[in-house]
Amino acid sequence: MTAPQDPAADLTPAQRTEVELLARGKADRSRVIREAKLNETPEAAHAYLLRHGLWDEMRAPYAERAGIDLSDIELPVPELPDEPRLDLTHLPAYAIDDEGSRDPDDAISLERLDNGWRLWVHVADVAALIAPNSPLDLEARSRGATLYLPDRIYSMVPPAIVDLLGLGLHETSPALSISIDFDAEWNAETVDVQLTTIKAERLSYSAAQARLDAGEEPFVTLSRLYRASHKQREAEGALSIDLPEVRVKFAGGDIQITALPKPETRLVVQECMTLAGWAAAIYADDLEIALPYATQDAPTREVRGTDLPAHWARRKTLARTRFRPSPGPHHGMGLDAYAQATSPMRRYLDLVVHQQLRAALKDQPGLTGGEIATRVAQAEMNAGSTRTAERLTRRHYTLVMLARHPEQVWDAQVVERRGPQATVLIPELALDTLMSTVAPTGAMLKVQMAAVDLPNLSVRLREVRT
């Protein structure tokens, strides 16, 4: 009996390219797919390429489909300006981040005052090199944010800027530093912003945690600050959402999925960055500086509880963060004003905040509210595409890993019910999917992969009875 002929075997290079363009989101039509009586969608083209061995399982086309620029930035980087800076090199500063982080852009210092403490949050002074409407600014705006994929990072700014301004990469670093003075009871009294020179020590969260556990300063006092500040924000309605997070890495054909550790030092750093965003917003509002202020409406309902289903439900009550040129409350954080200000190498709107603060410090005209609104619209659209591409690519590689280990049994929990189906979450993978089960919300299950559909990023699980 003659084996049926593979229709893909006779494809010309032009026909294969045609199918690949559809799969990559670069074309709307494909005669090959149409004649195969398939829907002319990127997913159908992706499935066709996989089925006929023209693509392998590691091909993840989501960044291309989102229209993200994956080219290297080759724009020239200007010299740092020669300008007065407050010398804070005598003050220990700690750039605390995940293991392997390559773009350290914030650091923390704590200074003892006569009647309290001064928290310094130092941020890489990217605006010193990227002026509004410069070619580098337009390039960063078109990207919106740095793209973090499992196999590569596509930076929003040229690598030369990261190498030059990354905190702790050189003996000293220029920074834009935000300070908050607290009294002995950790009540915030004054805020300030200055151009500084700092000397930063790079630490991983685990290394910082070891120093906190050993009773070293300033880590012990920073922990007290975190607890007091977080308690104050919770009293103002801030929501705590603790869901599993993982890091997905792909190198040499190997997929590694590791849970992000959550030592107390991670929470300490997050709280300090939140306080810096609040202080930047208060400082700018007092001086009537237009910023892309981040605001958020109050949650749609109250969710009680501390288990995983409660955190899952609580996240769904949050309204979308909106950016606008004037301040307003951010209910999810329990703050009366907030501006993202601590990642100007990674997020474009953080860079805009720095450009506006720098203009005020130099007594120069800044952007108008209308110009801020225009940048918000452009950056949100582009950064949204970046976040979507990251999320879909992580899911793609996670499903590949599942398919490679079909016999592995995973712990899962039902976090939400939808009629006859339930949303099931595998915490070890931070992977959620719908599953047919009668198990109630909160139930713990043992599951295995039953089938994976890579083009549609779906997985079917089966329950393992013990």
Per-residue model confidence as pLDDT tens digits over 409-421? 999 999 999 888 9
Q: Is-contact 111 86, C-beta < 8 A?
A: no
What's the confidence (pLDDT) of residue 37? 96
- 36 and 142 fall within a common domain: no
Question: How far apart, in whole angstroms, are the C-alpha atoms of residue 248 and residue 259?
Answer: 9
Same domain (yes/no): 363, 426: no
Would 66 be classed as within a structural domain? no
Beta strands in 236-368 (DSSP E): 246-251, 254-259, 293-295, 322-324
**161 occurs within a structural domain:** yes
SS3 247: strand
Asked whether residue 62 is domain-assigned, the answer is no
300 found inside a domain:
yes
Read off the pLDDT of each residue in 399-424 and give the average, rounded to a whole number.
Answer: 95
**Whether residue 4 has pLDDT greater than 70:** no
Q: Would you state the pLDDT for residue 3?
A: 38
Kindly list the strands in the beta sheet with 116-124, ordered across the sheet, starting from the edge strand earlier in the chain. 86-87, 188-198, 173-183, 116-124, 106-113, 93-97, 200-204
pTM of the model: 0.94
pLDDT of 6 above 80: no
For 49, residues 6+ apart whose C-beta sits below 8 A from its C-beta are: 19, 20, 23, 55, 59
Please give the residue range of the domain that contains residue 451: 405-463
Amino acid 251: pLDDT:
82
- CA 463/CA 384 separation, integer angstroms: 35
In a domain, 17, yes or no: yes
Residues 434 and 293 in one domain: no
- Mean pLDDT (the chain) is 94
Q: What's the average model confidence in pLDDT over 418-425?
A: 93
Confidence of residue 1 (pLDDT cuts 50, 70, 90): very low
pLDDT band for 2, please (50, 70, 90 cuts): very low
Can you give the CATH number for the domain in which 50 is found?
Answer: 1.10.10.10
* pLDDT reported for residue 7: 62
Residues 413 and 452 in one domain: yes
Same domain flag for 297 and 208: yes
Q: In this structure, are 419 and 370 located in the same domain? A: no
- What whole-number percentage of the chain has pLDDT above 70? 98
Give kind and range of the element (H or E) at residue 424: strand 421-426
Would the pLDDT of 14 be above 50? yes
Question: Mind giving me the DSSP string for 209-246?
Answer: HHHHHTT-TTHHHHHHHHHHHHHHHHHTTPPP-----E
296 and 418 share a domain?
Answer: no
The pLDDT of 220-241, averaged and rounded, is 96
207 burial class (0-12, 13-18, 19+ CB within 10 angstroms)?
middle
How many Cα atoms within 13 Å fall on the side-chain side of residue 149? 22
Residue 39 lies in a domain: yes
Residue 272 sits at φ, ψ, to 5 deg, of: -65, -40
Looking at residues 230-256, what average pLDDT do you find?
93
At residue 466 the predicted structure's pLDDT band, cuts being 50, 70 and 90, is confident
Same domain as 134, residue 153 = yes
Residues 337 and 196 in one domain: yes
Q: How many domains does the chain have?
A: 3
- From 365, 396, 427, the end of a domain falls on 396
Question: 396, 413, 440: which is the final residue of a domain?
Answer: 396
340 and 205 in a common domain: yes
**Is residue 423 within 8 Å of 432, Cβ to Cβ?**
yes
* CATH classification of the domain holding 431: 2.40.50.140
- Could you identify the residue written with the tokens 């977080």? 230
Angle at 453 between CA 314 and CA 152, to 5 degrees: 75
pLDDT at 322 over 70: yes
Q: Give the pLDDT confidence of 256-271 residue by residue, as tens digits.
A: 999 988 899 999 999 9
Whether residue 421 sits in one domain with residue 297: no
Residue 8 is predicted with a pLDDT of: 65
The residue out of 348, 370, 396 marking a domain boundary is: 396
Percent above pLDDT 90 for the chain: 92
Instruction: Evaluate if residue 34 carries a pLDDT over 70.
Output: yes
Query: What tens digit of pLDDT does each residue of 95-105 get?
Result: 999 887 888 99
Tell me the three state secondary structure of residue 418.
strand
Residue 453 within a domain: yes
Is it the case that residue 279 has pLDDT exceeding 90? yes
Residue type, 136: L
Q: How confident is the model at residue 252 (pLDDT cuts 50, 70, 90)?
A: confident
* Interatomic CA distance for residues 66 and 395, integer angstroms: 15
442 and 303 inside one domain: no
Q: Are strands 410-418 and 322-324 parallel, antiparallel or unpaired?
A: unpaired
